[in-house]
Amino acid sequence: MSRKRPLRIKNVGSEHLEQYNALLRYVFQVTDRQLARVGWEEEEIMRAKQPMLERADVLGWFDGDKLISQVAVYPLNVRVFDRTYAMGGLTGVGTYPEYANQGLMHKLLIRALENMNAREQSISFLYPYSIPYYRRKGWEIISDKITYEIQDYQLPKTKQVSGEIERVEAEGPEVKEAYERFALQTHGAMLRAELEWNEYWLWDPDDTMAAVYYNEDGEPDGYVLYRIADEIFHIKDMIFMDEEARSGIWNFISAHFSMINKVVGNTYTDEPLAFLLEDADIKETISPYYMARIVNAQSFVAQYPFKADTGTREWQFLLDDPLLPWNQGAFTLEITPEGAGTLTRTGTAGSPGGKGRDRDKIDIQTLTTMLMGYKRPDYLHKIGRLNCGPATVDMLEDAIEQQAPYFSDYY
């Protein structure tokens, strides 16, 4: 007799929290030892996750009453150049292996993206467990994580600065104020309310410390989040508003010279640290970090700040999206002299090209990484990801700001 029952897709509520957590722990192999390393019990993790999950759009497949596949979308906000975008933060993705290869996650992702579109979240971020998988679904790399290792004798010499640094509680208001100032002027940064901060700290040990740099006007211009263990200065993250703040923070780190034998840390900018050090022969590893995908191209462009120019600019092209029909077809991009963009649908994907030539082409993955500033139009054209003429490449180069995203969160 067949044991197969019809599977159902429905919302995952707080009554399913235990099953949600069990599925995540199985898929990502989170052990009791890993929880203990950061001072958590399983019940504490569940309680910590519950407020964010209650805000989230969580979808799942059920076999009877058993949750067997799931995806969660957190309602978040990110800065895209000088604008704040509603962002759908995709997380909690998992399917039990006995239910794999049935297309369950594919259907969940489509439903999740449809819900994001209905909530006017025109862009989605995720931390990928498989870059190829999410590329096939329309996401693309938009940020990097640089891990570095500096020996004690390579630490920068102290520089004179006008401000001062103060050690504070890592989860205190001083750190949050410094980050708020930084995020509002930083492309790609996520804006954090209380629940976002809880997610930020969720997997960190209790002995994490913080030091905030204040400028001469008493404003917090940066911080370093760190812990010291086994004579190693571990940097979780470091932010700074300007070069003086950066120097002031490194003065503080270098003052630990007698206590440590090396510094190990992470940075999320596109600027390797080595060039800034007198002894640049340090170990640095650059790896892709977060991916993003535009959920609704027309809505995203309507809010997007292109660079100003002397005249109106136009681009006609075919857009391809592997999941979403509203991003599929022929479009015209118009950019005013002031930098306001409008994306207008002009036909379906099968519409003939104009003026006797093949229509310019781009897919949603490439459009995302290009407009987010991670890869430039000229480079994307050279590697065959942007199909257009040289004049269009030049226009896009002039129209898009040149700044890679900073993103240091993990949810």
How do residues 183-235 score in pLDDT, each as one tens digit? 999 999 999 999 999 999 988 888 999 999 999 999 999 999 999 999 999 99
For residue 236, what are the contacts with CB-CB under 8 A and spacing of at least 6?
204, 208, 225, 226, 227, 265, 266
Return d(Cα 31, Cα 222) in angstroms, integer.
Answer: 35
CATH number of 8-76+87-116: 3.40.630.30
Indicate the angle between helix axes 42-55 and 17-28, nearest 10 degrees: 110
pLDDT at 274: 86
Within this chain, domains 8-76+87-116 and 146-288 share the same CATH topology: yes
Return d(Cα 26, Cα 31) in angstroms, integer.
Answer: 9
Return d(Cα 272, Cα 284) in angstroms, integer.
Answer: 8
**Residue 362 CB-half CA count within 13 A:** 26
- CATH second-level architecture of 293-399? 2-Layer Sandwich (3.30)
Strands 83-95 and 123-126: parallel
pLDDT at 100: 92
Residue 254 pLDDT exceeds 90: yes
**Averaged pLDDT, 157-172:** 96
Residue 27 pLDDT exceeds 90: no
pLDDT at 141: 98
Q: Are 94 and 39 in contact (CB under 8 A)?
A: no
**Averaged pLDDT, 266-287:** 88
Determine the residue type at 62: F
Residue 353 pLDDT exceeds 90: no
**Averaged pLDDT, 89-99:** 95
Reply yes or no on domain 146-288 having CATH 3.40.50.11610: no
Residue 126 pLDDT exceeds 60: yes
Q: For the chain, give the mean pLDDT.
A: 91
Q: What element of type H or E holds 225?
A: strand 220-229
For residue 191, what are the contacts with CB-CB under 8 A and spacing of at least 6?
76, 77, 78, 79, 84, 180, 183, 184
Question: Where do the structural domains in the chain lie, given as residue ranges?
Answer: 8-76+87-116, 146-288, 293-399
**Averaged pLDDT, 168-183:** 97
Phi and psi (nearest 5°) for 260? -135, 165
Position 50 confidence tier, pLDDT thresholds 50, 70, 90: confident
Residue 109 pLDDT exceeds 70: yes
**Averaged pLDDT, 266-276:** 85
Which of 31-35, 83-87, 182-186, 226-230 comes out lowest in average pLDDT? 31-35
10: helix, strand or coil? strand
